Amino acid sequence: MQYRTLGRTGIKVSPYALGALMFATSVGNPDPGDSARIIHKALDAGINLIDTADAYGDSEEVVGKALKGRRDNVVLATKVSRPMGDDPNQQGTSRRWIVTAVENSLRRLRTDHIDLYQVHRPDPATDVEETLSAFSDLIRSGKVRAIGTSSMPASDIVEAQWVAERRGLARFHTEQPPYSLLNRGAEREVLPVVQRHGMGTLVWGPLGQGLLTGRVRKGRRNELRRAGFFKHLNDERRLDTVERFIALAEEAGLPLTHLAMAFAITHPGVTSAIAGPRTMSHLDDLLAGIDVALTDDLLDRIDAIVPPGTDVGTLDQAYVPPALQQPSLRRRPAGERTAA
């Protein structure tokens, strides 16, 4: 395993990371013991980064129990900001919620510190200075080692870096954008920005939330339907593109999963790609392709299918800015719409 440095933190992480969403018993593997065996095998193979979140059901608890006796060998990442109940203050990135949420995560993970604490999704309602101030205090207290974001627009990343410098606060060390053969939008602004600021990048969705496993084909979508993924399975553009990648992978003599994961870690701005195996066979397939490297010719052919910086449809969990969700934010009041 050739480890990479996570931005400027000095922390060494494996190019493949273990995503823990599928260890939640409510949405993934219903057997915590089996999930623990998957975690242990991944660690034995050299994967040392595990990424979870407080909003992933009981995933933090499953991971925490599985890491008993092995915690010191793991770079443990979790997240905050998604709703954790009906209370409107049990979400977001206010200091009030962060100081509560981190204690809850520490308890569930059975640890006294989190190596990477991330904002799960941007919180436009909270000033980034408030968030960075709370995170800075957590770093000083020793409860958190490094901080990061997930799915943050490039402009917000730049603003956060500026605020940290001007206010003398800890800066975000990492970003976690969606990135795959199907979703290359991060190449346009996000990856260049994180490279410019020396941040580490953990990309999520490198297997397209299941579409790039080769198990989902036109007319044969039942397996992932049962797993709970719906919307993106009905996007014909994505399905058509997957078929082209399946043909390319077969021509190259590679399983589609190996092509997809190798592509995700080829970009110089990507530190690690997060894959979330649900079963031991899924992990075995992931590990079998860990040494795959793509040639320039193969990368050129990938570019011809999905041009750099473009997306084919969107992932179900992609961040949508408020201005795209709320018409009032992009429309002047009716009385102000004329030039007169």
Would you call 56 a catalytic residue per the annotation?
yes
- Identify the segments of the chain with pLDDT beneath 70: 219-234, 340
pLDDT of residue 215: 83
Q: Are 199 and 174 in contact (CB under 8 A)?
A: yes
134 three-class SS: helix
Which H or E element spans position 5? strand 4-5
Number of other CB atoms surrounding residue 264 within 10 Å: 24
Burial 290-311 (b: 16+ CB within 10 A, else e): bebebeeebeebbeeebeeeeb
Q: Are 20 and 47 in contact (CB under 8 A)?
A: no
* Helix 32-44 and helix 280-288, axial crossing angle in degrees, nearest 10: 20
pLDDT of residue 333: 87
Q: What is the CA radius of gyration of the chain?
A: 20
Catalytic residue among 56, 117, 179, 319: 56
Amino acid at 169: L
> How many helices and strands (H and E) does the chain possess?
12, 10
d(CA 105, CA 110): 8
d(CA 154, CA 160): 10
7 three-class SS: coil
CATH of 11-335, one of 2.40.110.10, 3.20.20.100, 3.20.20.70, 3.40.50.2300: 3.20.20.100
316 three-class SS: coil
332 three-class SS: coil
- Residue 207 token pair: 């297997």
pLDDT of residue 305: 98
* Helix 296-305 and helix 256-264, axial crossing angle in degrees, nearest 10: 100
- DSSP structural state of residue 17: E
d(CA 120, CA 122): 7
How confident is the model over 107-143, as pLDDT tens digits?
Answer: 999 999 999 999 999 999 999 999 999 999 999 999 9
